Structure 1
């Protein structure tokens, strides 16, 4: 799912922001100051198939722009609805079967506010993220196809900072931990799929440190000083 999201997304963004290939037709007009005016159509350089179509008003995009894939089907793979008040564009990406891939606001060509990503070929949300000037900021939530929460993690300045929780589909918390600048930091608790604690301890700079407790079926069976794991194991059996 992650590879699908990255590869398909890279293609969509390339198509979305590459509006420089145009055809010399009656549609592509300029105003007296040499700025784009009226309906403009862009085309793929090699195939000459339509890439995008939208309207300009004295060089500024207005209304809805449609972006197409490079096939004879001319499938819409993205739309952008421009808002002159805040210089934003509400953007929706689609796959070639007309399913939404993601949607959210773009301001000055970077993500802003909440973005939603969808499960493959589904109307169900897979992930919600929040952006500030193109950087992740705030809560990121991942959902199972059923709609149940799978993961929650907080971001600050595009890095994991704050609590992290991972759940089974029936709501059991598998992991509770804390991140600082993309690294584990502080108390972490790990559980099995039945909700029994497996291990518990502290992280320092992304590494286990100090006394860690290990459990089997919820019963403490071992303590280990992870700062010196080679000679500090103490069995509780």
Structure 2
């Protein structure tokens, strides 16, 4: 009986001990150690993670009000650097996107996933929260749908668009987000349908139109 009472006392005391280790501050009033903060007026978590004298370190879990089974975001704060690894999740715990942030801006490679799937939908390169580099989009079957270069948030350079079976459908050129330069359009069999040049979004010069893979007509713009 005495042993049973001791076990009961320890079991009741354990949550109190655990709670006493949370949400502490250092001598300068900065958050320090493990913290768990609930949404106001509830006992449901808003976020949980570890501070070291006011600075986030390691893994932090963030929750969306009304959905507490899975975190809406997990951020890993690297010790000794300002880069944060971030993964966003659906309400069912499936990943939406992941990448790195610097000063709350996307930086480097980001990956986005198809809905309710682990298959990649898109990969992008960011600098200062703007697209800079190759963006690759994928069909659900993992075939490449599009490869387009970006600079300072706008399409710049070559853009290739494919069918779900891997056939090249469009070969385009961009400058400052506008179609600019030579363009070729193909049918599903890989035969040319038309080709010509763009100048800042407008057709220019001689355009060629094909039928059954052979030149059928030319138009001047």
TM-score, structure 1 normalization: 0.80
| 1:96 aligned counterpart, secondary structure | coil
Q: Within the alignment, does 1:223 sit opposite 2:198 as a pair?
A: no
Report if aligned partners of 1:50, 1:74 keep a CA contact under 8 Å in 2: no
Distance 2:27 2:53 in 1: 9
Greater displacement, 135-144 / 29-38: 29-38
Aligned length: 202
Query: What are structure 1's unaligned runs of at least 5 residues?
Result: 1-24, 227-237
Deviations 1:136-163 (A, max 9, x none): 1111100111111110001111111110
Partner of 2:177: 182
Residues 23, 34 of structure 2: 8 Å contact kept: yes
What residue number does 1:92 align with?
Answer: 87
Partner in structure 2 of residue 145 of structure 1: 140
**Residue of structure 2 equivalent to 1:200:** 195
Aligned residues of 1:49 and 1:72 also touching (Cα < 8 A): no
Secondary structure of the residue aligned to 2:111 is: strand
What is the CA-CA distance between 1:70 and the residue it aligns to? 1.6
Q: Which entry has the higher C-alpha Rg, 1 or 2?
A: 2
* RMSD across aligned positions (CA): 1.7
Of the candidates 103, 107, 111, which is equivalent to residue 106 of structure 2?
Answer: 111
The CA deviation string for residues 60-89 of structure 1, in whole angstroms up to 9 with x for no partner, is 001100111222643211101111232111
Partner of 1:33: 28
For the residues of structure 2 that align with 1:44 and 1:221, how far apart are their CA atoms?
A: 68
Gaps of 5+ in 2: 1-18
In structure 2, the CA distance between the partners of 1:222 and 1:47, relative to structure 1 (3 Å rule), is farther
TM-score, with normalisation over the residues of structure 2? 0.85
Distance in 2, Cα, partners of 1:174 & 1:46: 56
Partners of 2:108 and 2:127 within 8 A in 1: yes
- Indicate conservation of the 8 Å contact 2:45/2:68, yes or no: no
Q: Distance in 2 between matches of 1:85 and 1:159?
A: 33
